[in-house]
Chains A and B, each alone.
Chain A
Amino acid sequence: MSQSISNSKIRSALAPNPSISGKNTQQSSLGDFIQETLALTKRLFIQLQRRPSSLIAGVIQPFMWLVLFGALFSKAPSGLFGDDLSYAKFLAPGVIVFTAFSGALNAGLPIMFDREFGFLNRLLVAPLSSRYSIVAASTVYIIALSFIQTAVIVFASAILGAGFPGIAGLSAIALIVFLIVLGVTALSLGLAFALPGHIELLAVIFVTNLPLLFASTALAPLSFMAGWLQVIASLNPLTYAIEPIRYIYGHADWAIDSVVMNTPWFNFSFSAVILVLLAFDALILFAIQPLLRRRFA
């Protein structure tokens, strides 16, 4: 077909090569898993680079939350949101967590489209060392996106008067964002394999997204809420991510054992909150196993 290479060269290039096609696939090597995960992650980033609109929207939206909600409560009596906490400072953690949460909730969409367009079949006929690399790639991608969004929100909030947490504070925020994104991404990926199509997945995202925002402490403290909503908000994983970040924003002298979250029933230290988020992740990762296995078997 091409004149630039000799026939014998073409022949050897097309002949079976047992050193690759006859490779021993019995031992699943970590190197293979990393290679395929990186390749799949790279694909997602190439897509992002060529179709950046979702990332741009994902940065503009939280910025608008900050400006609009900030303006909505700008004349609220000072001290209303706790000891000399401005609403900008109060709001920033809510927007950080909510943005990461929304992004993670959408994590399953690319996989759902791969299922619908048949690209997933290309992955499933390949001798992947583990099909969890497909899940891992999506998770790495979504976590990276969330970090980009979080960084933008932290800077924008600083400009809007929320102040700037120190290096330790930023690391703690990164850890919390990581934990909430991990669990929610896993949930969304599980749904992407369980639901019949993208319409259904979008419907689930639609009914989950905003209600979980309003049933958390993102926009108002627990003490403002009706009793029943306080119960729900105290169980909402988002609250466990928002409250420690809010404490960090309000207290430069925070520590691992600081009590960062108060509910009418229990008080949680920073380390206890991290444990709750870890438990949340473990629960979801466990719960999606059957969904993934059904497709990957």
Chain B
Amino acid sequence: MAAAVLIENLQKSYGDVQAVKDISFTVQPGEIFGLLGPNGAGKTTTIRCLCTLAKPNSGKIEVGGIDAIASPKAARQRLGYVTQGVAIDKVLTGRELLKLQAALYHLPKKIIGDRTQQLIEILGLDEYANKKIGTYSGGILKRLDLAAGLLHQPEVLVLDEPTVGLDIESRMVVWEFLQELRSAGTTVLITSHYLEEIDALADRLAIIDKGVVIAEGKPSELKDKLGGDRVTLRIREFTSDDEANKAKQILESLSFVEEVIINAVQGNSLNLIVKSGQSSLSKIEQSLEEVELPTFSLAQSRPSLDDVYLAATGQTIMDAQIAASSTRDLKKEKKQMMK
């Protein structure tokens, strides 16, 4: 059986900016696949290439075995696309938008009314369907977007950051719905910069950073592969470089400590990888006391997806997110998005 989505050595530049340098991953039919990475990592550009909105400079894209670059129309018919809540017409009602969308996907005229009503009911939009979209809240809008993406019963539903800006309740609704969708047999490809979202939903994922895939696999696999436990240590709330380096030296000499990284963006906190199942915390505290270094906070946990990202890039997704948002030119990006 052909992969639901296959992306191989994808490259895409806008002017002299290489948004996607080399991205490859495979989505199997019937799974929820997550693309995880900070903003600006190339997730949206990858999705835009997949949905035929942008033409890649090189690489291969297949949807259900169909070459999306050579036969974009066939790929479009097989994909549902739910994007970051911008592409709506506030003057139409929800039902009118769904009917328009149904016609654009060439649903037989006889079934458009029924099919629209069906999705309105499934997504709990009955109360809103005949109101103008301009009056919808973020959560309702997202449900309408989901309904619109599913009208033609696509093989793959692609969601670009579907829960950004949603309240927690609406986010849970989206999560539950995507799981329901998977059990119905629809493949789901979702991008997010929320670790917990991908961890909770995805059967498999690819982590993207600066336009390349840095890890691909099941969430549990990726975490287990890292091995050990994670310890986060803050000597002070904001630690000086000297003290951080001193602590690093001492901790590295401990037998159960495998690696120590100084996280400069987080006020020189120290991220340690230690052997699992050891009572490491008291020993760490003890050895710091011996050289008269205080302990502001100390915590141990199993590796998370963030640790997978951290191990590959040397910073957490949140930090990368903050760093990226300060250097992004949103105006320029909007121009690139404009067709």
* A interface, CB within 8 angstroms of B: 1-2, 4-5, 10-18, 20-23, 25-26, 32, 35-36, 38-40, 42-43, 46-47, 50-51, 115-129, 196, 295, 297
Known contacts A22-B155, A125-B51; A14 and B106 CB within 8 A of each other: no
Chain A residues near B124 (CB, 8 Å)?
1-2
Partner of B87, one of A17, A35, A51, A119: A119
Q: Which residue of the partner chain A has the closest CB to B149?
A: A125
Q: In the assembled complex, how far is the CB of residue B200 from the closest CB belonging to chain A, in whole angstroms? A: 18
Partner of B153, one of A17, A128, A129: A17
Chain B 46-103 residues near chain A, CB threshold 8 A: 51-53, 55, 64, 71, 73-74, 76-79, 81, 83, 86-89, 91-92, 96, 99-101, 103
Q: What's the Cα separation between A274 and B280 when bound, in Å?
A: 91
Q: What's the Cα separation between A35 and B92 when bound, in Å?
A: 18
The verdict on B183 contacting chain A, using a C-beta distance below 8 Å, is yes
Known contacts A14-B180, A127-B73; A43 and B55 CB within 8 A of each other: no
By the criterion CB–CB under 8 Å, are A35 and B106 in contact?
A: yes
Known: A16-B155, A22-B64, A122-B101; 20 extra A-B contacts, CB below 8 A, are: A1-B123, A2-B123, A4-B121, A15-B153, A18-B155, A20-B105, A20-B107, A26-B74, A39-B99, A39-B100, A39-B104, A43-B96, A46-B92, A46-B96, A50-B132, A117-B87, A118-B87, A119-B87, A120-B339, A126-B76
Q: Which residue of the partner chain B has the closest CB to A120?
A: B339
By the criterion CB–CB under 8 Å, are A116 and B338 in contact?
A: yes
List 6 A-B pairs, minimum CB-CB distance, nearest first.
A39-B103, A17-B153, A126-B104, A14-B184, A127-B76, A118-B86
Chain B residues near A15 (CB, 8 Å)?
153, 184-186
By the criterion CB–CB under 8 Å, are A295 and B106 in contact?
A: no
The verdict on B264 contacting chain A, using a C-beta distance below 8 Å, is no
By the criterion CB–CB under 8 Å, are A118 and B122 in contact?
A: no
The verdict on B337 contacting chain A, using a C-beta distance below 8 Å, is yes
Q: In the assembled complex, how far is the CB of residue B135 from the closest CB belonging to chain A, in whole angstroms? A: 13
By the criterion CB–CB under 8 Å, are B184 and A5 in contact?
A: no
The verdict on B181 contacting chain A, using a C-beta distance below 8 Å, is yes
Q: What's the Cα separation between A47 and B93 when bound, in Å?
A: 11
The verdict on B217 contacting chain A, using a C-beta distance below 8 Å, is no
Provide a sorted-by-A list of 10 A–B residue pairs whose CB atoms are within 8 angstroms. Answer: A5-B118, A10-B180, A16-B185, A17-B153, A21-B153, A36-B106, A117-B86, A125-B52, A127-B74, A196-B335
Chain B 163-201 residues near chain A, CB threshold 8 A: 173, 176-177, 180-181, 183-187
